[in-house]
Structure 1
Amino acid sequence: MVMDGVTMEVGAVAAMRYIKDGIKAARLVMRHTKHTLLVGEKASAFSISMGLPGPTDLSSPESIEKWNKWKENNCQPNFWKNVVPVNSCGPYHSNGLLLVAETTCPGDDPRRAVELRSNHFGLHSHDTISMAVIDKFGYIAVGTSTNGATFKIPGRVGDGPIAGSSAYADSDIGACGATGDGDIMMRFLPCYQVVESMRLGMKPKDAAKDAISRIARKFPDFVGAIFAVNKNGTHAGACHGWTFQYSVRSPEMYRTEIFTVHP
């Protein structure tokens, strides 16, 4: 996903195979179509028609080995829930239980039924890169690229291509980038929240902490992080469930500086 903070144009692709440079494909969507998001096989075909190399086999020896070991472990862990058989590679079927909303009694807290997710996300289970850039004219752009969660269910789309979730920019205000449990974070559009909070006068540090805390109140086991930067270049980060690092480089800096944010 890429977003122009001046025009508010967005280009994004999702569930795309055989194309190595997803962020380039997203930019092609923004530059050459009036759409915002293309997905699946047709997104791949579009990208190739616009000049990107492909179809390309994106498997590596490391990824194949990881997948084989996962299969040998009966496809555990995975992202299925309320299905049978539980400890296998499927095919899966509903276990026949009613929805939580239909089985809870008055006064029960439905959040008790939310499965803990910490075993799915961590430093080595996904590979999101989110970036914000401010040019010499003060124009801001953001971009996010990711392969998504390891061992995800085929067809899954996370927060990477969702404007306002993985990233958001408004050159009048600032920008935000996010990483972590995208299935949870995209429900809150945390980066849109950050930019709007800064619009109302919050400092980047407070805006980032506020967006993270909104998620943590509902999902205390989630893992995620945010960086925020205003139009003047003041930046900060906030995280939950891990220690987060982000890097900054400006024309005045001799080298890139890494900032560490603790939960």
Structure 2
Amino acid sequence: MNSKRQFLKFSLFSTAVASSVTSFTGAVAATRKSGNKPNKPIVISTWQHGIAANKQAWTVLEENGKAIDAVESGVRVPEADPNVMTVGYGGYPDREGHVTLDACIMDENQNCGSVAYLKHIKHPISVARLVMDKTPHVMLAGQGALDFALSQGFKKENLLTDKAERAWKEWLKESKYAPVINIENHDTIGMLALDKHGDLSGACTTSGAAFKMAGRIGDSPIIGAGLYVDNEVGAATATGMGELMIKTVGCHLVVEMMRQGLSPQQACQKAVERIATKLGDYKSFQVGFIALNKQGEYGSYCIQPGFDYAVTDVKGTTLIDAPSILASS
């Protein structure tokens, strides 16, 4: 009797799994059999500072360049701009007054490189690229990342601008760590590109949360959390409170949902909703994703209104406000 019951349970379970696999395979096949001509090349990136970044990336893409070169070149623009105080040179320091940078990059073959807690180097994305291209590792951090950068010809620089230093000293008066949503404290530049060859790549770089604890590392240098690329399916990158992306491996989640047949827009929304459900008090946080698939379709979703992203293709550049949970609630 028990053997029969176990057999029936196993049969029902096997049927359910087979049905799920069939459904999953069908969704992927439907996506890949789309008769629409891919919209390529195309590049998308987070926030308004993505406009200038896209412009630079487009110069690579329109000349038949590779997506990996485009995203590296593109995000170097905000890294070098002292007026973008959440990325690279001019970024807000930690609570000790040190500017520490995180970045990662990923190509169409799932090669990737990352640096974390890197000081004194203006372009962490290019150091991450060299970690990918010249070492057997994925991530270097702290002094090791700096030593590697110097060995590759990068020069040490003072990244703390007068403006950022004044903001830090003002913060020290109360030393209250209370991130303000969408206000220059965790506005990462993440970029995704699809080139003329049909290949995807992505890059992500940041100075992290303003006035963070010394040693804090967010999602931006973590493959799967702040960035993920699967050349068969699509790519995603994130902005907002990095700890939440780490806890959910958010960008990998978005890509896997696209693998199951969801559009980039739907995948971003599902990922944000999952995070919000687990948070409970999600109205106090910001999380945003952008995604791009192999057809050149793109989408975004976030918790709080106010997150925008830049899209550049043959039709020009557009800044788009991402839909959000709170705007629709």
What TM-score, normalized to structure 2?
0.64
Q: 1:179 to 1:197 in 2, by over 3 A?
A: same
> Is the CA contact 2:300–2:323 (under 8 Å) kept in the aligned structure 1?
no
Partner residue, 2:177:
77
* Paired letter, 2:112: V
> Alpha-carbon deviation of 1:71?
1.1
Partner residue, 2:105:
2
CA–CA distance in structure 1, aligned partners of residues 312 and 153 of structure 2: 31
> Alpha-carbon deviation of 1:184?
1.6
For this pair of structures, how many residues does the alignment match?
A: 218
> Is the CA contact 2:234–2:255 (under 8 Å) kept in the aligned structure 1?
yes
What SS does structure 2 have at the residue aligned with 1:177? Answer: strand
| Alignment deviations for residues 93-119 of structure 1 (CA, whole Å, 9 cap, x no partner) | xxxxxxxxxxxxxxxxxxxxxxxxxx4
Structure with more contact order per residue of length (Cα contacts < 8 Å, sep ≥ 6): 2
Q: Do structure 1's residue 64 and structure 2's residue 127 form an aligned pair?
A: no
* Paired letter, 2:215: G
What TM-score, normalized to structure 1?
0.80
Give 1:164-175 correspondences, 5 Å limit: 164-175=224-235
> Alpha-carbon deviation of 1:238?
0.3
Partner residue, 1:106:
none
Which aligned segments of 4 or more residues in structure 1 are displaced greater than 2 angstroms?
Answer: 119-123
> Alpha-carbon deviation of 1:203?
1.1
> Alpha-carbon deviation of 1:120?
4.7
What SS does structure 2 have at the residue aligned with 1:168? Answer: strand
| Alignment deviations for residues 14-42 of structure 1 (CA, whole Å, 9 cap, x no partner) | 01101110101100100000100000011
What SS does structure 2 have at the residue aligned with 1:127? Answer: coil
Q: Runs of 5+ in structure 1 lacking a partner?
A: 79-118
Amino-acid identity (%): 35
> Is the CA contact 2:225–2:245 (under 8 Å) kept in the aligned structure 1?
yes
* Paired letter, 1:4: D
* Paired letter, 2:202: V
Partner residue, 1:214:
274
CA–CA distance in structure 2, aligned partners of residues 186 and 122 of structure 1: 19
What SS does structure 2 have at the residue aligned with 1:24? Answer: helix
Structure number having the greater helix percentage: 2
> Is the CA contact 1:208–1:237 (under 8 Å) kept in the aligned structure 2?
yes
Q: Runs of 5+ in structure 2 lacking a partner?
A: 1-103, 325-329
